[in-house]
Amino acid sequence: MNHEVVFLPAGKKTAVRTGTTVLEAARKAGIYIPTRCAGKASCLMCKITVNPADAGMTLPTAAEERKLGPLLEKGIRLSCQARVTGNMNVTVPEDPFKAVVRRQLERQAEDDLW
Ligand code: FES
């Protein structure tokens, strides 16, 4: 059965089968999520944010509970571990380098106003 996964803030959507990892769904949708451990729950680079009440994904794995701890309550998950079980929205954090560039451009735009 296919489920729709929407990646925010880009708004890109994809349809994937039950059991697909969110990381695999992101790749299918053309969304870049950084990884370094090939999905072994050790690099913590593939974090995403979801609504904790969202029934569209599996419960946290033991590895996620060990690695994320209290972050799970804030809706942080590891996209390499969380598997799609229904329609869901996923927020992908902004790339840190892009965030720095964006903030500099925003500051420059504010300075240009004065
Ligand atoms: S890819 Fe490394 S923790 Fe998910």
The mean pLDDT of 49-77, rounded to a whole number, is 91
β-strands 76-78, 12-17 pairing: unpaired
Burial bucket for residue 54 (CB in 10 Å: 0-12, 13-18, 19+): middle
Residues spanned by the domain of 17: 2-113
Nearest residue (by CA) to ligand 1, atom 1, is: 39
By C-alpha distance, which of 78, 62, 96 is closest to 22?
Answer: 78
Could you identify the atom of ligand 1 that is nearest to the CA of residue 80? 4
Q: Inform me whether the pLDDT recorded for 113 exceeds 90.
A: no
Mutate-to-test residue for ligand 1 from 27, 32, 40, highest number of ligand atoms within 8 A of CB: 40
Total number of domains constituting the chain: 1
Phi and psi at residue 44, to the nearest 5°:
60, 20
34 CA to middle of ligand 1, Å? 8
Residue 89 maps to which CATH number?
3.10.20.30
Burial bucket for residue 89 (CB in 10 Å: 0-12, 13-18, 19+): middle
Output the pLDDT for position 62. 94
Q: For 90-111, what is each residue's pLDDT tens digit? A: 999 988 788 889 889 999 988 8
